[in-house]
Chain A
């Protein structure tokens, strides 16, 4: 009986010491996983996920604090990619964080703009140009459509305009065949 206890105790001690050494030896610094998650996110920095930007959300997902379905701009496609990367099941976009909208850009009605610069301060990607008491305008190529400039505007002169299809970004449709009922 004593021998049994002794054997198990010694075994536990040896293994514990080995594991303790290994945990120091193979300590992980930084988290490369965050970068991979961040690369999938659409970088609108819109905060709809409940975190102050895409990177913090990526960190939260990597830590397991946030779910993968909290990013409306990324849409289903983004959730699928995250699920794929993290080996989780796909789940539909969580309704409390918003809905997937077609990509749009902010447009400032230049007749209404009073030049208050509030939207410039709100834009996370510096896509609005202008100066105090001067008219502002949105560089639409750089606008991510995050809508963060809408609430600060005191005269509500910013509207979101969906980006339409043109010859450059048009996509071939999935081949579909209509089945016709044979006459008779």
Chain B
């Protein structure tokens, strides 16, 4: 039981997918201007990533391994992820058109979000079981959402700040992201209590 907890916590904080593994930077910089969109993007990614981890485990263990087709792993994972993203997009368009419009190009781009492909592949590399895979995916997505929301909060405040002209916009956002990454390095200390 505790091992599951460690998988989850480790994925959220210690090995944060954005700030430590440096995956999924595109939406991290792209849709973190407003808190609302950040929450929406986080929710969408969480949905996609958890589902992707589950299905990719199933595909890997029931299709690819029995027929010795490991070389199709990346290809088949990407196809599944693309389908799930399409599904998510349809659902969001139905439930929240504004969020759909605001996420814009970033929503279909979840397909190419390296975090979404990276986490299922990491699952295979780390030899996670089914439940562990799901937890790892869910935890990574939570970590992604957490960082995205925190970052959006900071950026919303930055909008009112008296930032020197050359630093306005993406420059100051990059500096902020660097500082957040430094802060998350502090969680590495949690390893000691494993």
Do A and B come into direct contact in the complex, CB within 8 Å?
yes
The verdict on A7 contacting B98 (CB below 8 Å), with A12-B79, A15-B80, A26-B91 known, is no
Q: Which of B33, B59, B64, B101 sits near A33, CB closer than 8 Å?
A: B101
The answer to whether B87 and A19 have CB atoms under 8 Å apart is: yes
The answer to whether B69 and A87 have CB atoms under 8 Å apart is: no
Per-residue contact bits, chain A 6-24, to B (CB 8 Å; 1 contact, 0 not): 0110011001001100110
By DSSP majority rule, is chain B's interface helix, strand, loop, or mixed? helix
Per-residue contact bits, chain B 85-113, to A (CB 8 Å; 1 contact, 0 not): 01100110110011001111000000000
By DSSP majority rule, is chain A's interface helix, strand, loop, or mixed? helix
The answer to whether B87 and A4 have CB atoms under 8 Å apart is: no
Q: Does B150 contact A (CB under 8 A)?
A: no
The answer to whether B72 and A8 have CB atoms under 8 Å apart is: yes
Q: Which of B33, B69, B72, B90 sits near A23, CB closer than 8 Å?
A: B90
Q: Does A155 contact B (CB under 8 A)?
A: no
The verdict on A28 contacting B97 (CB below 8 Å), with A8-B76, A87-B102 known, is yes
CB-nearest residue of chain A to B68 = A3
Q: Does B175 contact A (CB under 8 A)?
A: no
Per-residue contact bits, chain B 42-75, to A (CB 8 Å; 1 contact, 0 not): 0000000000000000010001100101001001
Q: Which of B87, B97, B104 sits near A22, CB closer than 8 Å?
A: B87
The answer to whether B98 and A32 have CB atoms under 8 Å apart is: yes
Which residues on B sit within 8 Å (CB–CB) of A165?
none
Per-residue contact bits, chain A 166-181, to B (CB 8 Å; 1 contact, 0 not): 0000000000000000
Min Cβ gap A83→B in Å is 11
What size tier do the contact residues of chain A reach?
20 to 34
Min Cβ gap A128→B in Å is 37
The answer to whether B101 and A11 have CB atoms under 8 Å apart is: no
Min Cβ gap A34→B in Å is 10
Q: Does B145 contact A (CB under 8 A)?
A: no
Can you list 12 A-B pairs with a CB-CB distance of less than 8 A?
Answer: A8-B72, A8-B75, A19-B83, A19-B87, A23-B90, A26-B94, A28-B97, A33-B97, A84-B34, A85-B101, A86-B104, A87-B103
Residues of chain A having any CB pair with chain B under 8 Å: 3-4, 7-8, 11-12, 15, 18-19, 22-23, 26-28, 31-33, 36, 62, 84-87
User: Closest 8 interchain pairs by CB?
Assistant: A15-B83, A26-B94, A87-B102, A26-B90, A3-B67, A33-B97, A22-B90, A32-B97
